[in-house]
Amino acid sequence: MLNADEVTVVIVPFPSHGHLNPLLHFSLLLSTRYGLTVHFASTASHNRQAKLRLQGWPLSSLSSIHFHDLPLPPIPSPPPNPQSPNSFPTHLQPLFDATDHLRSPLSSLLLSLSASSRRLIVIHDRHMSLGFDAATTPNAESYAFCGTSAAFHFEAAQLMKQGTGLEELASPEFIRFIERRRRDGFTSSGFIINTCREVESEFLDILALREDFLGKPIFAIGPLNPVPIHNNTDINRDECLEWLDGHPPCSVVYVSFGTMSTISDEQTEQLASGLRRSGHRFLWVLRDADRADIFAFESSSRRLPAGFEKAVEGVGKVVRGWVPQLDILAHRATGGFMSHCGWNSCMEAVSCGVPVMAWPMHSDQPTNARLLAEGLKVGVVVRGWDRRREVVAAERVEEVVRMVMEGEEGRSMREKAVEMGEAVRAALKDGGSAKEAMDVLVAHWRR
């Protein structure tokens, strides 16, 4: 076998947590388990963000990766608007557009590494533009990383072909941004997707026949998130895990809408009322969506109904900052997950065997919610996409929580979630579909 140092891998993430997170996991897999030399190139603040929010790996593992801080000019960092009729995070568009400024320093880095490597492998998020043509560099290959579900790639392609429908999922500015970025994908040597055949076999087969993917290999290597050990007893555990320790198995509803979603004040009030009325234990992460300048605004001051936290003390806990979601989902006390259904959250819930109360808000989330609820039967949709502009009443929140946490229907969901979790975890082991795809990919780079 060739020396791994002869192959250099450069990871180019999109600067938002949902994109940074899986590619950092991927980088650690390549560096620690396959012995490859891995470089991670993003802005200084987003490199820092990725490191501080690392889950499932010891912090010491970060030393196996070479981080490169790419310069970015000052950009606006407006707050999210929780009252906006469109829940898409339009406040981050200045950051997205500013990634064009990364093309030149990134190209210089890639050229430098290409000159000192036998083979240079560039893995770039599909939302990133490289400013570097691997096709004209004899020892370089580029691969597009797809951080959303295969089901969404299929659905988005259908909508683009029809010329309608995407405007309901994202802002016009972001749709135009994505259209520009699609061109880089056409020059890639293949596609890497954070999914596996156990979850999306049908859609992976369909993608292989589509124009964007035709003739290029698709490597389904997910879930990229580590699968945590239940009841991790690490001395540096987060306080919310200590709180979960005091509750019975499968008794707590975990509520979190991710790092790019903010619900309205009216919706917050209805959700609070519904959780309280359900009578079930809950751990609720109530925070604003990330801003471009993430570390200036890490926590939230969102208001709850007067006296709410005191009234639910011991039964419910509200957290206003970032939490270690993987460890929460893996905890024995967690029995259900009320989620926006970002793809990372979906894969984490599935790999931990936790049923999902799906509350999609934008982008790929409606597709993911349907996949979990209708395809895999491991969840229920809280609010149909056709009613996305409506406030979900407390009565519906109570109904869904009771449905998942009680009775025959909830028991069936939990059983299916546990079975799916076992299948997905098996996919990551020797002989599993995801592990085999990863082995084939790395062997191809080392040829």
pTM, rounded to two decimals: 0.94
In the predicted model, what is the mean pLDDT of the chain? 91
Condensed to tens digits (0 to 9), the pLDDT of residues 378-412 reads 999 999 999 998 999 999 999 999 999 998 999 99
Q: Which of 17, 25, 125, 340 is catalytic?
A: 125
CA dist 142 and 191 (Å) reads: 9
Contacts of 79 (CB under 8 A, 6+ apart): 91, 288, 291, 297
pLDDT of residue 130: 86
Condensed to tens digits (0 to 9), the pLDDT of residues 337-377 reads 999 999 999 999 999 999 999 999 999 999 999 999 999 99
Give the DSSP letter of residue 102: G
Given a cut of 50, is residue 124 above it in pLDDT?
yes
The arithmetic mean of pLDDT across residues 101-110, rounded, is 95
CA dihedral 378, 387, 290, 243 (to 10 degrees): -50
- Mention the CATH class of domain 4-226+428-445: alpha beta
CB 106 within 8 A of CB 12: yes
Q: Is 25 a catalytic residue?
A: no
Residue 217, token pair as written in the block = 């290999």
The shares of helix, strand and coil residues in the chain, as percent rounded to the nearest 5, are: 45, 15, 40
Residue 370, token pair as written in the block = 């349907």
The arithmetic mean of pLDDT across residues 410-423, rounded, is 96
Give 209-260 as a DSSP string.
Answer: TSTTTTTS-EEE----S--PPTT---TT--HHHHHHHTS-TT-EEEEE--SS
pLDDT of residue 319: 95
pLDDT of residue 326: 95
CA dist 323 and 239 (Å) reads: 9
Using pLDDT thresholds of 50, 70 and 90, give the confidence band for residue 179.
confident
Packing angle, helices 197-207 and 150-162, rounded to 10: 30
Q: Which CATH number fits domain 239-425: 3.40.462.10, 3.40.50.2000, 3.40.640.10, 3.50.50.60?
A: 3.40.50.2000
260: number of CA atoms within 13 Å, CB side?
26
Q: How many CB atoms lie within 10 A of CB 209?
A: 8
Nearest alpha carbon to residue 10 among 94, 128, 181, 136: 128
The arithmetic mean of pLDDT across residues 43-53, rounded, is 95
Nearest alpha carbon to residue 320 among 333, 307, 305, 301: 301
CB 353 within 8 A of CB 326: no
Q: Which of 17, 19, 46, 280 is catalytic?
A: 19
CA dist 206 and 409 (Å) reads: 31
Q: Is 19 a catalytic residue?
A: yes
Q: For the chain, which residues make up each domain, given as ranges?
A: 4-226+428-445, 239-425
Condensed to tens digits (0 to 9), the pLDDT of residues 73-102 reads 999 888 887 767 668 999 999 999 999 999
Using pLDDT thresholds of 50, 70 and 90, give the confidence band for residue 127.
very high
CB 302 within 8 A of CB 272: no
181-202: burial string, b at 16+ Cβ within 10 Å, e else: beebbeebbbbbbbbbbbbbee
